[in-house]
Structures are given as structure tokens and as C-alpha cells.
Amino acid sequence: MVQFRNDDPVGRVVGLWRYPVKSMAGEALAEVEASWHGFAGDRRWAFVRDGVPDSGFPWLTLRERGDLCHYRPSFVDPSGPDKSRTTIRTPSGNVLDVSDPALAAELGPGGTRVIKQDRGVFDTFPLSLITTQTVAQLGQAVGRELDIRRFRPNLLVEAVAEVPFPEDDWVGSQLCIGGLRFRVDKRDGRCAVITIDPETTERDPSILRAVAQDRQGYLGVYGTTVQPGRVAVGDAVFVERR
């Protein structure tokens, strides 16, 4: 197992995203406040499909509508008094409040409704991280460069070590990034969402097949906040000694 020194950075942040509405496009950020419930404004809203409330997974996601990635949310003034307001730019160019019934009707003619969850609508843990090395390695496996947006991370890190899948060695450790301390809890189990091209919405099953065959279905890592704080692009990433 790789050992790390507290005073040696293992990488730096090269991208930050939040996803104000579950399965819609990410909002690229230069910096963001990370709370106990993930990034400010991250996955605070989700659309629920009518008729499946007892399924355990009632959310309307990219699995059902690959074009959800063309709906672009903005979390409005997260530090101000109107911090819960979220607007959506639709593929046609209309800007609607997330709670506008017209948006729900457009997304699900058969019936959808929006819900708000202040703690976030997360599948597992509130923070996700992937390295540039991991995305590049998978790209080599499938024979082409892959858009990072397929993997919907909160943090994209360029690792110092030029080894495949460096974040795997961080599981069980705590990362110090800017003012945030982040416990890496587990590897990220992937689903069909990564097969969807964020530009064309075309699906390529070979990507998920490569992850299943070569990585036991895992790519990137999940974690939780140990100490809230601000994170910015360019911040060094440190791993506390295990």
C-alpha cells in the first residue's frame, strides 16, 4: 500500500462541479463552500416519477432521459438570502424556476414532480472525486478521449504520481483540500450513466463494459466531509498518513 507524507501534496484540483438538480448538467465552479452535506447547492433538487414511489429509486435520471444533461441549472446566490433559488435553462433556451409546473410537465408528460432536499439527493455519499489519470486510463481502454462530464464528479484532481487509478490508494484516508477535510470512504460503483455522451446523448455500452471487466465496476471514489471548508481550483491535495 502506498504511504503518503502529510507535507507532500499528492495532486491538485483542476475542476469543481455541483449538480443543483439530480441528473441535470453540472455547474462548473472556480471555488465552492463544502458543508456537511456536500457542496453548497449540490443535488438539492430532484424530479420524481409518478407511479414509482415505492421502487426505492423514484428519481427521474439520465437512465430514463439522456437529454437531462442538456438542462442547465444555476444555483442562484448561494451566500445570499435567496440561497435556495435554482433556475433551469432548457434546451430550447427558456429559463424557468426549478419549481415551475411547466418544467415538470416538459420533463415528464406522464407525470413528474420536483422535490427539495436540504441534505441533498445522493445515491450514496455527498462528495465524489476522480483523477485525470483515471479518466485517461479508461480512455486508453476504449480507444478514445473521454469527456469528464460523463463521470459527474464534484472534484477532478490531477495526481502527482503518474500511476493508473491513484485515488484507489486514498480509500480509508482523509484528504485535506483548501479548507476542506474529506474522508475517502469507498470506490465509486458505476452505472449506465457513464455510457451517455453529454453532447450527443448517444450511448456507448463499451465504456461501462470496460469498467466492469477491468475495474470490477468501480471508477473514482466517494467520500464525506470531516471538516467543512472552502475549496478552489488550483488547491493542493494532501493525504493524511494512514
> Alpha-carbon distance 59 to 42, whole Å?
16
How confident is the prediction along the chain (242 residues), in pLDDT tens digits per residue? 444 446 789 999 999 999 999 999 999 999 999 999 999 999 999 999 877 655 567 889 999 899 999 999 998 765 555 555 899 999 999 999 999 999 999 998 767 888 888 888 888 899 999 999 999 999 999 999 999 999 999 999 999 998 999 999 999 999 999 999 999 999 999 999 999 999 999 999 999 999 999 999 999 999 999 999 999 999 999 998 65
C-alpha cell at 74: 444555476
For residue 173, tell me if it sits in a domain.
yes
Claim to verify: residue 149 and residue 110 sit in the same structural domain:
no
Which residues 6+ apart lie within 8 Å of 174 measured at CB?
181, 182, 183, 184, 226, 239, 240
> Residues 65, 218, 49, CA angle at the centre, nearest 5°?
25
Are β-strands 112-116 and 45-49 bridged in parallel, bridged antiparallel, or unpaired?
Answer: antiparallel
Specify whether 141 is located in the same domain as 70.
no
CA distance from start to end of the chain = 10
Q: Is residue 22 in a domain?
A: no
Boundaries of domain holding 63: 27-116
